[in-house]
Structure 1
Amino acid sequence: MPDNVDAEQFNPDELVAPEWLNAKFIGDVLSAYENSPELNVTDLKITPASAQGDHYASVMFRTTAEYTTSKGKFVKPLIIKTMPEQEGHKKDMLSESHLFSTEIGAYTKALPEFERILREAGDNTQLYVPCIYHSLAPRQVMIFEDLVPQGYSVIRNRPVKEVELKNVFTKLAKWHAVSMKLMNEQPEFLKEFQYGLIEMPTLMSDPMVTSGMDTFLKTLDKIPEVTKYKPYFEKIKVDYLQRMADVMQEFRKNYQSDGYYVMCHGDFHLRNMMFKENGDVMFVDFQICNLCPITIDLSYSIYMLMEPEQRWDLGKDIINYYFSVLVETLKKIGYKAEMPTKAGLWKQIHRHKYYDFFLMTTFLPMILAIKANTLKMSEIIQDTATREKAFLLDSYVEEVKKLLPKYEEMGYFKDL
């Protein structure tokens, strides 16, 4: 690790690069990518790629490779993404998952076709940054050009701006629209994308997930204004995780004729996006892209992306904006099936309320603590005491005070 790197800012397993990540490996990658057999790496700097709290489901390094070819001297900034090698919770959770095969498929098959369809319709929206190298064996690795030198950065210490949110949901709507067209016209094309969050082997038994409701119920006892809602959550605590899983797997296991299904990003939160000063956004981290209800990205974004002022109305304005772009894009690309309706979308969001219950009781306190840089992601995920602290943060208590009455107004507590 370089002397100027502050170890406290980064994940411990990203402080020292594995032995295989060296000048020879990067040289072979660049030589193949640029079709330059004589390419020679003359210097290689390796540092952690992102700050604590930006990600968990991989290990990432930033490299700057200086190299020569017959055409001269060059510098290439790269991001290397690989699976955890250190023993521990992260490796146990991720080692048997389909994360890398899913993301490789997204970069090499799905997203290029999405962009091709948009280009054919006269839309030059860029949905992804090309992957310059990928491998599943002997190790799982992906390499990309670094977006930071191109002017992109992750939002960490300020709220996301309205213009940035609109750009996010414009791009998401176009992504979803193209996937709807492909799912309708070429149902086999995206069939391999069947592994979402629920299919991660140990997730549903991990304390991070299983302890959420009990901790939430204890929190309600400490908030007099909303204690009256506790019986609703007591009633569902036995099976709400299964009901949440049913929502996420609906396309594959319980297809509904009136459902809207797309290829979702699957982990649509602020740290999986990079922005330019002009508000332009680039999505990253496609490890759990899968075919599922349209609500998986939309509801997730309410809790994991939006600011409180948008969330307290369950994202109504921005989701309606997203829907207008979705329909406009479907028309533009020649979608042949029945057009979705705004009423149909909100009906589906309401029908999938158990997904909201899970996100609000389990993921929201964690993301608020991470966004505020109050607690470390790895400690929230792995340590019960740290996780419980997130539920007592003022920011989370205020959210609960606003969200539960909104759920009641929306009828979420009826027929539980």
Structure 2
Amino acid sequence: MAEYSVDELQAPVWMNDQFFTEILRKSENDPSLGIVGGYELLPATKPGDHYASIMFRTCIRYRLSGQSGEQEINLIIKAQPMADGFKKEISKDNALFAKEIKMYSEILPAMVKVLKEAGEHLEVARLIHASLEPNVVVVLESLTPKGWIPGRESVVSFEEAFPSIRNIANFHAASLYVNQQIMDLSTNSVKEILAEGVVLNLFTKGFEEFCVAIGKWEGYESFVKKLKTLLSSMDQRLQDAYTVNPATVGYNVLNHADFSWKNVMHKRSSDGRKVVDSMLIDYQCCHWGSPAVDVWSLLDLIVDNRTKTAHRSRMLYEYHKQFAKVLDKMGFMGKIPTLVDLQMELLRKGFLEVLHVTVFEKYKFVQMTDTMFDSFDEGNPDDPCYHNEEYCDIIRAELLSLLHRGLLD
């Protein structure tokens, strides 16, 4: 497999001296800032790490006016894809980039501020530059020199999951407070992106593939029948999952809404064996709606299935404990949702767990590539994943669990 995504082997021509000089002059508030020496633009990620942008990294040395010494900054440059395929299709109207720019420029700074005032913390990369014209781009200061590394697999223990539990609880709590006291967050929606178009097609084809694959398993005919019934109303069920709760039913928060092992970064212990801290990245899909959107992802897409099975109740308890504590420390003027309220949200939005089991669980067992979704229409029910003993054991157990909780009806 290629070490880097093909569309990131050559940076766009506009990523040049003039571009970097202009954005650094603005960022450092120094109109005389000058770049010193050369720099190299390299792919920032590995194939399959992201699906709605192209990303590059570089280290630039520069000199401020009136200073003899040089400084350097490591940058991550996130731009709109130009090559035909899934990446270009999903980002073609700039909506994802517009959302992420608003997050980094307005919403995240407000969240970080109120959390800090409450004695809490949310690690966020520093925004250097963002624009939709003349080029669609977000430039961030790289956190790699500070010891942060990309997450490329689900975490395998409650202890390693705890930083992510804390982070998503803080994110949700801060969003409630910010929405109440500072700015309206309720207009942030990703329903039209995740429940329509190419993404809906991706989910539908993945669900179909799953039905065909387990249809070959002896004794699973009744499961396939139930799943096909769900499949026939996939679009409506997704719409329902992402529909904002009315004031009389449940509650809403700003969800990250793309909360998976690929959208977190970790710090590891000195021996590299354990995750000791984590942070959220990639804010292109943030969505105002039920907290179940992210909490189901916490259970299904952040940790491995063994950890979910062993610590599900504890993870939910610790998430809610942190969420409620932070709201109380902030002085939230409203009813703080209870753990029972959260459990009700998870049940009401239970189709999301069905989707995670049928479509997403397999990605923990396959090699991700940057073009794998380009040919998703073809499907692959003969994928070796469906013969992986560990994967099959997980699916059998999860299907029974979904059945017993009424989520297949």
User: Which of 325, 328, 332 matches 1:331?
Assistant: 328
- C-alpha spacing 1:162/1:310, structure 2 compared with 1 (3 Å): closer
Structure 2 counterparts to residues 131-280 of structure 1, below 5 A: 131-156=127-152, 159-185=155-181, 189-196=184-191, 198=193, 202-204=197-199, 206=201, 208-224=202-218, 226-251=220-245, 255=246, 257-278=248-269, 279-280=276-277
Q: Which amino acid aligns with 1:190?
A: L
Distance 1:159 1:242 in 2: 32
Distance 1:390 1:144, change over 3 A: farther
Report what 1:317 is aligned to. Answer: 314
Q: What is the total number of aligned residue pairs between the two structures?
A: 398
Q: Does 1:25 align with 2:19?
A: yes
CA offsets, 1:315-359, max 9 Å, x none? 332122111111111111112211211122112111112222222
The runs of 5 or more residues in structure 2 that have no matched partner are: 270-275
Alpha-carbon distance between aligned partners in 1 of 2:332 and 2:374, rounded to the nearest angstrom: 41
How many angstroms apart in 1 are the aligned matches of 2:86 and 2:167? Answer: 34
Partner of 2:272 in structure 1? none
Q: 1:64 to 1:196 in 2, by over 3 A?
A: farther
**Alignment counterpart, residue 369 of structure 2, candidates 365, 376, 397:** 376
Give yes or no for contact 2:151–2:263 (8 Å, CA) kept in 1: no
- The 1:386/1:217 distance shift into structure 2, 3 A limit, reads closer
The one of 302, 305, 310 aligned to 2:302: 305
Q: Does 1:352 align with 2:349?
A: yes
2-side partners of 1:161 and 1:86: how far apart? 39
The answer (yes or no) to whether the contact 1:48–1:61 under 8 Å persists in 2 is yes
Normalising by structure 2, we get a TM-score of 0.90
Q: How does 1:23-172 map to 2 (within 5 A)?
A: 23-41=17-35, 42-70=37-65, 71=67, 72-123=69-120, 125-156=121-152, 159-172=155-168
Tell me the CA shift for residue 166 of structure 1.
0.3
User: Contact 1:198–1:245 at 8 Å: present in 2 too?
Assistant: no
Aligned identity (percent) is 25
* Letter of the 2:298 counterpart: S
> Distance in 1 between the 2:304 and 2:288 partners?
27
Distance 1:44 1:201 in 2: 41
Q: Which amino acid aligns with 1:308?
A: N
List per-residue Cα deviations over 1:183-221 (Å, max 9, x = no partner): 3445x5224422357358633553x22212221211222
- Structure 2 counterpart of 1:108, one-letter code: S
- Normalised to the residue count of structure 1, the TM-score between the two structures is 0.89
Coordinate RMSD, CA, aligned: 2.3
1:61/1:80 contact within 8 Å kept: yes
Shift of 1:144: 0.7
What SS does the corresponding residue of 1:126 show, helix, strand or coil? coil
Q: Distance in 2 between matches of 1:159 and 1:247?
A: 26
Q: Which SS does the other structure have where 2:139 is aligned?
A: strand
Tell me, yes or no, if structure 1 residue 400 matches structure 2 residue 395.
yes
- The answer on whether the counterparts of 1:198 and 1:248 sit within 8 Å (CA) in structure 2 is no
Secondary structure in structure 2 of the residue aligned to 1:250: coil
Q: What one-letter code is carried by the residue in structure 1 that aligns with 2:256? A: H
Secondary structure at the aligned position of 2:130 is classed as strand
Deviation at 1:58, TM superposition (A): 0.6
SS at match of 2:63: strand
Runs of 4+ in 1 over 6 A off after TM superposition: none
Q: CA deviation at 1:363?
A: 2.5
